[in-house]
Structure 1
Amino acid sequence: MRFKCIIFDLDGTLVDTIGDIAASMNHALEEGGFPSLTRESYAKIVGNGLKNLATQALPSSARDEKTVDTVYRSAVTYYRDHPADLSRPYPGIPDLVAELRGKSDRRFVTKTAVLSNKADSITQLVIGKLFPPYAFDLVMGERPNLPRKPDPATTWELITELDASPRETLFVGDSEVDVTTARAAECSFLGVSWGFRGRAVLEAAGADRIIDNPAELWELLALRY
């Protein structure tokens, strides 16, 4: 059985977005009179949406609902104005995406999608600025009234729209959130070691297949063909 679709995580999988995430959140923190964090600190706490990130970035004494919401809204506003100032696709990703999209016989995969816990409006902006038009069949970020990863609901929604089943879907990601999402959605999972978390975190989360280079994805697809 072949994979009918591949769902890619965005941050840490397709694109190194940590610079813009850090700039946006630090802008909001400094605006509120709070200390900023380093890029390395953000890499350890991203993955569960910007509101959760705002909570984690604030001092523990300032994590009340009102303060978190204020910092979150400020960060989102800044991020929408600066969605890809510092972000870049990882080496090899543009070629991989182009090859997947350009396979005229579609031997390996029929559809590709992006699923992020980043707000949908920002997710669309990042993809639109860093990839050619129609590079992916579907792009989805966090939307109102839909649970974020690792809840499988959004994954299932994408799979349904792409006319596939969980067994025909490969989920590609860099974090323990992605491992849990794929498991909950009953998809196959492929970890990438170049992202924010690294190989050790993926292995501890239960990922049994991890690649170190985007080109290695073709080997997996060939095995499934």
Structure 2
Amino acid sequence: MGSSRFSCVLWDVDGTIADASAGILPRIEIVLGELGKPSIPADQVNRWIGPPMLESFQELAGLSEDEAVVAVARYRGLAGEQGYANSVRLYDGVVDVIREVHAAGVPQTTASTKPSNQIEAIFEHFDLTDLFVAVHGATPTPGVNDTKADVLGRALDDMRARGVDVSRPVLIGDRHHDIDGARGFDVPVIFARWGFGSPEEEAGSILALDRPADLRDVLLG
């Protein structure tokens, strides 16, 4: 294994590896319109990217839990029809870092509240699958509101079961949900400023970086 201060790397997906907003936001608008709800205010756009969708439909659109379950099912149906990798772009430089970490022998996985089947489709489309030990995301079943802590706990357990050293993990993410979810597992977080989080959300991270390329020296230096 190559030199690294971390024994394994866990990645958030939306806002960290990929920008899927070009597909996510129009689908949300369709769902809100069908439910007779107003469009997303300009100052709330970034708040929709990253957190669990069930949570966002309740907190940002004011839906009841039952209404939010229906909204999530409709949203995911639209995503499936359009293609999970449709309108997704990868952040400049992030794949280079992932490939270098993989080449150094440092195990990688995801810990994202994006549904696991959507992550798998995106990784297959961009030829990233073989760079990760496994993919861990939210349970695709509507009505299941996996938190970051839920997914992170499963990811650590699975990596451990696969023989991966999880004694010195690090999570890379762009929202306070990443920091909040990692806290209970004592997993340090590197905050991705290139994503959708606000500066206020950096609190609690061990480091905040402006570009994916800046990760290289931190992870492998």
Within 2, Cα distance between the matches of 1:65 and 1:6? 34
Within 2, Cα distance between the matches of 1:38 and 1:135? 38
Alignment of 1:128 with 2:129, yes or no, is: no
Residue from 204, 208, 211 that aligns with 1:210: 208
The offset of 1:29, in angstroms, is 1.5
For residues 8-55 of structure 1, the C-alpha deviation after alignment (integer angstroms, 9 at most, x for no partner) is 000111111222221222221222232222576231243331211222
Within 1, Cα distance between the matches of 2:201 and 2:66? 32
The offset of 1:162, in angstroms, is 4.6
Within 2, Cα distance between the matches of 1:168 and 1:148? 22
**Counterpart in the other structure of 2:74:** 74
Q: Any conservation in 2 of the 1:28–1:71 contact (CA below 8 Å)?
A: yes
The offset of 1:88, in angstroms, is 0.6
Structure number with the higher strand fraction is: 1
Aligned residues: 213
**Mean Cα displacement is larger for which, 74-83 or 31-40?**
31-40
The offset of 1:69, in angstroms, is 2.0
Within 1, Cα distance between the matches of 2:13 and 2:72? 20
SS of aligned partner of 1:218: helix
**Mean Cα displacement is larger for which, 14-23 or 145-154?**
145-154
Alignment of 1:18 with 2:28, yes or no, is: no
TM-score of the two chains, using structure 1 as the length reference: 0.82
For residues 127-169 of structure 1, the C-alpha deviation after alignment (integer angstroms, 9 at most, x for no partner) is 2223434132211111267942134522432442453454321
**5+ residue gaps, structure 1:** none
SS of aligned partner of 2:114: strand
Task: State the AA in 2 paired with 1:85.
Answer: N
The offset of 1:121, in angstroms, is 1.8
Distance 1:39 1:12, change over 3 A: farther
**Counterpart in the other structure of 1:6:** 9
Distance 1:161 1:131, change over 3 A: farther
Within 2, Cα distance between the matches of 1:39 and 1:8? 28
The offset of 1:75, in angstroms, is 0.3
Q: Any conservation in 2 of the 1:5–1:162 contact (CA below 8 Å)?
A: no
Question: What fraction of aligned residue pairs are identical, expressed as a percent?
Answer: 21
- State the superposition RMSD in angstroms: 2.4
Task: State the AA in 2 paired with 1:31.
Answer: E
For residues 82-118 of structure 1, the C-alpha deviation after alignment (integer angstroms, 9 at most, x for no partner) is 3232221111012112222234xx3xx2x11111101
Q: Any conservation in 1 of the 2:172–2:192 contact (CA below 8 Å)?
A: yes
Q: Any conservation in 2 of the 1:12–1:196 contact (CA below 8 Å)?
A: yes
TM-score of the two chains, using structure 2 as the length reference: 0.84
